[in-house]
Structure 1
Amino acid sequence: MRDLQPLTVDRVADLAGDSALCTFWQTVPSNGSLVTREPQDILAEWVRDVTAEWGPPGRIAYVDGRPAGSMLLAPARYVPRLAAFPTAPADPSTLMLITVRVNGDMQGHGLRKVLVQAAVKEALRHRVRSIDVIAARPAAVRKHPCVLEAAFLEQVGFRVAREHPVYPRLRLDLRTVVTVRDEVTAAVRRVLAKVPGVRPVPETHPDGATRARVGQSLGPGEPG
C-alpha cells in the first residue's frame, strides 16, 4: 500500500531512507570550515521555518508503512544553496523542486514520477504557474547526488528555462499541465455526449471547487 504524507518535523528522519540525510540545499557552502550540526537538526529547523511561513515543504512516500521516497519543494527564498548556482532564479518567490529521492529497493516502480505529480498538486494548491529546478547534466550527477539529473526531469515534462552546460534550470509550466488535462477531458466528454442516457457528474477544478454540467459525464482528474 502506497501513502504520501506531508513532510513534518516528526518525519524528517524518514528522509534518510537507505542513504544519508541530504542537507545540501538547506545550507550555504562551508568553504572548508567544519560543520558541527547534525543533518537531522538542520533539516528539522528548515522544515519548521518553511512550514510556519509557507506550508509543508514536501512529501514522504510510504509503502506498506515504511519510508520509500521523498520530494522536497519550497520557494527559492528558502533554498540558500541556490546562491552557488549561476542559473538560480532572480525571483525569491520562484517555486523550486529541490529534490526527489527514492530508496534503492523501490527503483523502477514509478515512485519518482508519483512524487513529481505530488509536487504538481502542491504547486497548484499554492496557485503558482510553474515549478523550477536546478538540474545536473551527466558530468555533474556523481559530484552532487542531491541534485536531480536533467534527463529524468525532461522525461516528466520539464523544459530548459535557462541553459547551462552543467547545471541548467528547468521548468514545468503548470498552465500547460492543466491545459493538456482539460483538452483530454473535453475530448472524452464529446464522445460520451453522444451516448444516450449520460448523466452529469461533478467537475473538479484545481481550486477544489466542484459543479455538475448537463451532458457531461467525466470531470478532469488530478494533473499528472
Structure 2
Amino acid sequence: MSTSVTALTLGGVDQLPAHARRCVFWEMDPAVAEDSREFSDPVFEKEAWLSTVMLEWGSCGQLANIDGNVAGCALYSPPSVVPRAALFPTSPVSPDAVLLTTLRSEHPYRDGDVAQRLIQAVVADLVRRGVRALEAFGIRGEPPAKAMSDRTVGSMRLMERIGAPARESRSAGCSPETCMIEADFLEDVGFEVVAAHHRFPRLRLELNSDHGWKEDVERALDQLLAAASLNEATRVGAP
C-alpha cells in the first residue's frame, strides 16, 4: 500500500473523514452547541471554522491517503481559536504552543502507521513555520473509585466544566472518548506530560529543526536517486 500525507487546503475540506467533518467538539463553544437556536448544522459550522483558521493562520490540518482512500487526518491550530481549550482542568495551553486537537486513523487503517505519519507531517509543518511546541489534551480511562457515587458525581462535574452536552453528542457524535487523543499514544510518540491529571493530562512536544532532518534527508536521497536513474536512462539510450 502507498501512503501519502498532504496539507489540508480550503478546497480539500470535503475530503475529511465523515466524523472529522461533522465533529465540532473543539471548534464550538459548548454553550452555543447546546442551544438549538444557534446550532443546527455541524458540517457547516466545521467548514466555517476551518475556512476562517486557514485564511487567517494558514493550513491547519493534514490528510493521510492510502491508494486513493482517505485513511486519517490531523487538525491543529492556535489555542486562542479553540473554544474548548480553555475548559479543561489542565488548561491553559502554553503561549508558545500550537494545539493538536484531532488525530484519527480510519477503519481499516487503524493498525498501521497512519497516526505516526500524520504526527510527522504536523511536526514538519510547524517546524517550517517556526513554532516552538505542539501541545495536546490527552484522555485516559477512568480509574477505579472507592465509591461509585463519588466517581459518578466527579465525572458529572468534570463533564459540566469541559462541556459535553447530550444534544451535541446526538447531533455530531462528539464526546471526549470519540474526539480526544489517547494520552498513552501521545507519550509513545514523544509527548511529555506538563500538566498532570488522572483523566485529561496536557502533554507537550518540543519542536526544533532536528525533527525535520529525517524527512529532509529522505527527500534529498529520493531526488538524487531519481536524477541518477534519469541520467542512466539517457546514457543507455544515447547513440
Distance 1:18 1:104 in 2: 12
Q: Which residue of 2 aligns with 1:6?
A: 7
Cα RMSD (Å) of the superposition? 2.7
Give the letter for the 1:94 counterpart.
Answer: A
- How far is the alpha carbon of 1:143 from its aligned partner? 4.4
Distance 1:133 1:152 in 2: 11
2:93–2:99 contact (8 Å) kept in structure 1: no
Q: Which residue of 2 aligns with 1:174?
A: 207
1:161 to 194, 199, 218: 194
Give the letter for the 1:165 counterpart.
Answer: H
Unaligned runs of 5+ in 2: 143-154, 156-174, 218-239
2:194–2:204 contact (8 Å) kept in structure 1: yes
Distance 1:45 1:143 in 2: 22
- How far is the alpha carbon of 1:92 from its aligned partner? 5.2
Q: How does 1:198-217 map to 2 (within 5 A)?
A: none
Q: Tell me which protein shows more helix as a share of its residues.
A: 2
Distance 1:40 1:17 in 2: 9
For the residue of structure 1 that corresponds to 2:117, the secondary structure is helix
- How far is the alpha carbon of 1:145 from its aligned partner? 1.2
Distance 2:115 2:193 in 1: 20
1:76–1:93 contact (8 Å) kept in structure 2: no
Instruction: Extract structure 1 runs of 4+ deviating beyond 3 A.
Output: 17-20, 90-93
Deviations 1:159-186 (A, max 9, x none): 00111121110001124x828x87xx9x
2:104 paired with 1:96? no
2:139–2:176 contact (8 Å) kept in structure 1: no
Instruction: Report the CA distance shift for 1:68/1:127 in structure 2 as closer, same or farther (over 3 A).
Output: same
- How far is the alpha carbon of 1:55 from its aligned partner? 0.6
For the residue of structure 2 that corresponds to 1:123, the secondary structure is helix
Question: Normalising by structure 1, what TM-score?
Answer: 0.72
Instruction: Report the CA distance shift for 1:17/1:2 in structure 2 as closer, same or farther (over 3 A).
Output: farther
Instruction: Report the CA distance shift for 1:170/1:14 in structure 2 as closer, same or farther (over 3 A).
Output: same
Q: Which residue of 1 aligns with 2:35?
A: 33
Instruction: Report the CA distance shift for 1:19/1:87 in structure 2 as closer, same or farther (over 3 A).
Output: closer
- How far is the alpha carbon of 1:89 from its aligned partner? 2.4
Instruction: Report the CA distance shift for 1:48/1:92 in structure 2 as closer, same or farther (over 3 A).
Output: farther
Unaligned runs of 5+ in 1: 186-203, 206-224
Q: How does 1:105-116 map to 2 (within 5 A)?
A: 105-116=108-119
Identity over aligned residues, as a percent? 32
Instruction: Report the CA distance shift for 1:146/1:97 in structure 2 as closer, same or farther (over 3 A).
Output: same
Q: Which residue of 2 aligns with 1:59?
A: 62
